[in-house]
Amino acid sequence: MTDVAPPGFTPAPLSTPARTATPAGRPLMLCLSHLRWGFVYQRPQHLMSRLAQSYDVLFFEEPLFAEHVQPQLLASHPAHGVTVLVPQLPAGTPHDQVIAMQRDLLDGYLAQHRDAELLLWYLTPMSLAFTDHLHGQVTIFDCMDELSAFMGAPPELIERERQLLARTDVVFTGGQSLWEAKRHQHDNAHAMPSSVDIAHFAQARALLPDPADQAAIGHPRLGFFGVIDERFDIQLVDELARQRPQWQIVLIGPVVKIDPQTLPQRANIHYLGAKQYEQLPHYLAGWDVALMPFAINASTRFISPTKTPEYLAGGRPVVSTPIADVISGYGTSGVVSIADTPAAFIAAVERALGAEARDSVVVQADAALDGMSWDKTCNAMKEQIECLR
């Protein structure tokens, strides 16, 4: 996942007028999300901001809780045609009432748009708890990850997904291996791997100014951007830093669901925190090799990391642990090395640092990215949706 938040996300009272008017008569795309628009800029934001060219997008997030408040919806407009809706509920509300309050708030909002054609886009099956009474012209399940394998997944998620699949018209998966698993559960499932904004990350191929918090870090630099969570191989990064103290490891992204105290602390490991999407090419431009040190566990079995094409668009060689979709998608590219042990990982980085590798990486990266774009992915999804309307 790309680890950034676009600027301008400031929740406002629902009565605040939209910044821009949208054409009348457009379908209403209700996206039910477990991810916040303002946390990390990744697949949902890329897709919804593009789908907003054809649909009025409502991005409905999980609740926020506060003391001494009445249930209400907070709204913001982070992109043209996109309205983010966040339920704000009283702290301490019992779970069954949380569900009922979300249902009531959403129904109240949709009542203002009762004449619009409704399309339902689920990012999480858990949202079915307060939307199972809604009937969209088309119901879409964008299964971007195997959420049941993630740390802290609700025990009822598997059953909710079964229910959602039974009523879904089309399923999109975030990668090929996830499609292999879901195609046996739904007869209209399509692999729609996450893509890349090539022009954005290609800025890293130019000589960009080094960000202030990276400028003093020496070379060679090995970099990673993304969420640092249970999918991150802490031991591998520690071993890499221990065995090659002259290598500087730059880690960009928030630490989520794991104790920050468990992260390795060495002089050549640099935690720079979360960055804005617009900043990422500037950091990437200063790296010699891009890293994907994912742990091999249940939470990474079906992932299709968006950072692979983002690194390549930036013209950087990549070293990754053996993630299935990385192997199938980029394993023969010549610019993405796969390593299954610390020793193999170190050897792959050493090869990537070689002069010959640097000379050939851009050509190989361009070949690996040929024909890839978020526009193409989004258009393929829209075609499936329009066929069902």
CB atoms within 10 A of CB 115: 8
**Percent of the chain whose pLDDT exceeds 90:** 82
Convert the pLDDT of each residue in 62-99 to its tens digit: 999 999 999 999 999 999 999 999 999 999 999 999 99
Can you tell me the distance from the alpha carbon of 244 to that of 32, in angstroms, rounded to the nearest whole number? 45
What pLDDT is attached to residue 19?
Answer: 37
Helices (H), 14-94: 43-51
C-alpha to C-alpha distances, 277 to 3, 183, 284, 328, 362, nearest whole angstrom: 7, 33, 12, 27, 22
Q: Which of 86, 112, 87, 104 is nearest to 28 (CA)?
A: 112
Residue 3 pLDDT greater than 70, yes or no: no
Q: What is the mean pLDDT of residues 329-350?
A: 95
What ranges do the domains of the chain cover? 12-195+373-388, 198-368
* pTM, to two decimals: 0.87
What pLDDT is attached to residue 356?
Answer: 66
CATH 3.40.50.2000 fits 198-368, yes or no: yes
CB atoms within 10 A of CB 130: 21
Q: Which of 308, 310, 329, 305 is nearest to 319 (CA)?
A: 308
C-alpha to C-alpha distances, 79 to 57, 141, 306, nearest whole angstrom: 10, 22, 21
What pLDDT is attached to residue 368?
Answer: 95
Give 173-202 as a DSSP string.
ESSHHHHHHHTTT-TTEEE------HHHHG
Helices (H), 185-297: 198-201, 212-215, 234-243, 280-284
Q: Is 299 helix (H, G, I), strand (E, B) or coil?
A: helix
Q: Are strands 248-252 and 221-225 parallel, antiparallel or unpaired?
A: parallel
Least confident range of 4-18, 48-62, 147-161: 4-18
Tokens 């291996």 belong to 177
**91 burial level (CB within 10 Å; 0-12, 13-18, 19+):** exposed
Q: Which residues is 142 bridged to in the sheet?
A: 172
Vertex 315: Cα angle to 371 and 176 (nearest 5): 45
Convert the pLDDT of each residue in 153-204 to its tens digit: 788 888 999 999 999 999 999 999 899 989 999 999 999 998 999 999 999 9
Reported confidence tier of residue 11, pLDDT bands at 50, 70, 90: very low
Q: Is 255 helix (H, G, I), strand (E, B) or coil?
A: strand
Q: Which of 316, 341, 336 is nearest to 326 (CA)?
A: 336
Give 310-351 as a DSSP string.
HHHHTT--EEE---HHHHHHHTTSSSEEE-SSHHHHHHHHHH
Determine contact, residues 166/147, Cβ cutoff 8 Å. no
Query: Do 198-368 and 12-195+373-388 fall under one CATH topology?
Result: yes
What pLDDT is attached to residue 9?
Answer: 36
Reported confidence tier of residue 8, pLDDT bands at 50, 70, 90: very low
Determine contact, residues 231/260, Cβ cutoff 8 Å. no
338-377: b (≥16 Cβ within 10 Å) or e: bbeebeebbebbeebbeeebeeebbebbeebbeebebeeb
What pLDDT is attached to residue 360?
Answer: 84
Residue 130's φ and ψ, nearest 5 degrees, are -115, 10
What pLDDT is attached to residue 114?
Answer: 86
Q: Are strands 72-79 and 12-13 parallel, antiparallel or unpaired?
A: antiparallel
Helices (H), 91-174: 95-111, 157-167
Residue 255's φ and ψ, nearest 5 degrees, are -95, 120
Record the tokens describing residue 162, joined without a space: 């079964």
What pLDDT is attached to residue 24?
Answer: 54
Domain covering 12-195+373-388 in this structure, CATH number: 3.40.50.2000
What pLDDT is attached to residue 30?
Answer: 98
**207 burial level (CB within 10 Å; 0-12, 13-18, 19+):** exposed
What pLDDT is attached to residue 72?
Answer: 96
C-alpha to C-alpha distances, 371 to 109, 256, 311, 336, nearest whole angstrom: 40, 33, 16, 18
